[in-house]
């Protein structure tokens, strides 16, 4: 079965380039101009999409958590609720950011919906896709609610089991088959020994009709390319302009130079994988001529001479017949004289 997902104008298949999402999250620090700058630089780095996070904080959190003191270097408020409200964009900001991304930059824009009111908010905004965070993998009511919008859905699977993933898959697919499933390790950052990238292969076997990807929390760029080789065709990566900015995600986010290199390597990986047919390329010929070896005369030889093993040498550069022809050359008579180190060819032999 051919897996295929279309997000905005991007067709994602096993044969396509990776669809790269720059996860802005709340790295904009509640500043719409900073959000625009993040969008612009992500586009310059080659990202296909930028993504925010949308929460209806009053209904999402318990009163106790909303009012919990939240005073440390990454806080933007005295309580967790104040912190979240400071970072939350409203309708006018989202309209402006969507317009800026789509019309001025030409980059796909969508967001993660953390609750049903936020999902409705994004549906009204007419985003081209919905992201579901790892924390909502078991939130079947939310998954079914988002599925009925009929837009592509991308779900992360950090902290989940295969049973959790299959439950989500079976809830979504009858309503909306436009689904992608991302391997994810829900730690920030994720250590290499817990990335478990072979799960990508497992997901491809278990769900042959959906696109598989990686929500990459590793603090570097190497794992994305490994994931592509294993079959991931969506990569989501946190993005910032400065690791030292205030906020919990900045330290494990890629700065522009890292994002640019990761996307460059992902694009190269697709073409580098090739088609699996071993061939000789024209670009190899100079090296093969210089470093390769051919059969040459071991000394000056007269015409009519019958070649022995002592008459033939194997030397570089590649001037004569390939060395594997040695046994077929010995015992043949020379049609002409050969000087020492002169290449031996079939037309020289009787």
pLDDT, mean of residues 116-122:
96
pLDDT averaged over every residue in the chain: 92
Round to whole Å and give the CA distance between 327 and 342.
18
Structure letter (DSSP) for residue 93: H
In this structure, are 13 and 69 located in the same domain? yes
Q: Which residues contact 75 (CB under 8 A, 6 or more apart)?
A: 83
Span 258-305, pLDDT tens digits: 999 999 999 999 999 898 999 999 998 999 899 999 999 999 999 999
Span 201-233, pLDDT tens digits: 999 999 999 999 999 999 889 999 999 999 999
In this structure, are 310 and 254 located in the same domain? no
Does the pLDDT at position 5 exceed 90?
Answer: yes
Q: Which residues contact 92 (CB under 8 A, 6 or more apart)?
A: none
- Cβ atoms 238, 275 nearer than 8 A: no
In this structure, are 257 and 287 located in the same domain? no
In this structure, are 45 and 155 located in the same domain? yes
* Domain boundary residue, one of 273, 303, 333: 273
In this structure, are 234 and 296 located in the same domain? no
What is the count of structural domains for the chain? 2
Tell me the β-bridge partners of 334.
349
In this structure, are 24 and 172 located in the same domain? yes
In this structure, are 207 and 321 located in the same domain? no
Tell me the β-bridge partners of 42.
none
**pLDDT for position 293:** 96
Span 132-169, pLDDT tens digits: 999 999 999 999 999 999 999 999 999 999 999 999 99
Q: Which residues contact 76 (CB under 8 A, 6 or more apart)?
A: 29, 30, 82, 83, 86, 87, 246, 247
Span 87-105, pLDDT tens digits: 789 999 999 999 999 999 9
* Domain boundary residue, one of 233, 248, 273: 273
In this structure, are 344 and 245 located in the same domain? no
In this structure, are 20 and 134 located in the same domain? yes
CATH number at residue 304: 3.90.1210.10
Question: Under DSSP, is residue 330 helix (H, G, I), strand (E, B) or coil?
Answer: coil
**pLDDT for position 241:** 81
In this structure, are 125 and 208 located in the same domain? yes
**pLDDT for position 88:** 83
DSSP per position, 214-267: EEE-SSSSHHHHHHHHHT--EEEEEB-S-TTSSSTTGGGSBPHHHHHHHHHHHH
Q: Which residues contact 287 (CB under 8 A, 6 or more apart)?
A: none
* Domain boundary residue, one of 273, 301, 324: 273
Confidence of residue 1 (pLDDT cuts 50, 70, 90): low
In this structure, are 286 and 161 located in the same domain? no
Span 23-34, pLDDT tens digits: 998 888 778 999
Question: Under DSSP, is residue 348 helix (H, G, I), strand (E, B) or coil?
Answer: helix
Q: Give the range among 25-29, 148-152, 172-176, 307-311 with minimum mean pLDDT.
A: 25-29
User: Quick count: other Cβ atoms within 10 Å of Cβ 42?
Assistant: 30
- Cβ atoms 44, 105 nearer than 8 A: no
Domain that holds residue 207: 4-273
Does the pLDDT at position 246 exceed 70?
Answer: no
In this structure, are 19 and 133 located in the same domain? yes
**pLDDT for position 247:** 57
pLDDT, mean of residues 46-74:
85
Round to whole Å and give the CA distance between 180 and 119.
17
Does the pLDDT at position 35 exceed 60?
Answer: yes
């Amino acid at each position: 079965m051919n897996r295929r997902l279309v997000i905005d104008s991007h067709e994602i298949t096993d044969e396509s380039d990776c669809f790269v999402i720059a996860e802005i999250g709340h790295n904009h620090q509640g500043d719409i101009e900073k959000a625009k700058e993040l969008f612009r630089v992500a586009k310059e780095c080659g990202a296909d999409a930028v993504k925010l996070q949308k929460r209806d904080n009053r209904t999402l959190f318990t009163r106790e958590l909303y009012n919990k003191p939240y005073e440390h270097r990454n806080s933007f408020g005295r309580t967790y609720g104040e912190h979240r409200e400071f970072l939350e964009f409203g309708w006018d900001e989202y309209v402006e950011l969507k317009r800026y991304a789509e019309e001025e930059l030409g980059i796909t824009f969508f967001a993660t919906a953390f609750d049903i009111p936020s999902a409705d908010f994004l549906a009204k905004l007419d985003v081209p896709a919905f992201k579901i965070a790892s924390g909502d993998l078991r939130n079947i009511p939310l998954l079914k609610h988002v599925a009925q919008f009929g837009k592509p859905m991308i779900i992360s699977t950090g902290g989940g089991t295969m049973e959790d993933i299959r439950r989500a898959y079976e809830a979504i697919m009858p309503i909306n088959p436009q689904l992608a499933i991302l391997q994810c390790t829900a730690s920030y950052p994720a250590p290499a020994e817990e990335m478990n990238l072979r799960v990508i292969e497992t997901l491809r076997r278990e769900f042959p009709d959906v696109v598989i990807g990686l929500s990459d929390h590793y603090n570097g760029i190497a794992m994305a390319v490994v994931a592509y080789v294993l079959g991931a065709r969506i990569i989501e990566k946190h993005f910032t302009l400065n690791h030292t900015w205030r906020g919990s995600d900045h330290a494990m986010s890629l700065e522009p130079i890292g994002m640019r290199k990761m996307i460059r390597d992902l694009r190269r990986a697709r073409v580098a994988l090739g088609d699996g047919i071993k061939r000789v390329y024209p670009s190899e010929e100079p090296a093969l001529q210089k470093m390769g070896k051919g059969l040459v005369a071991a000394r000056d030889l007269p015409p009519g001479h019958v070649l022995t093993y002592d008459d033939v040498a194997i030397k570089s550069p590649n001037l004569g017949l390939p060395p594997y022809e040695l046994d077929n050359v010995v015992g043949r008579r020379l049609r002409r004289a050969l000087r020492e180190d002169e290449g031996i060819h079939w037309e020289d032999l009787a």
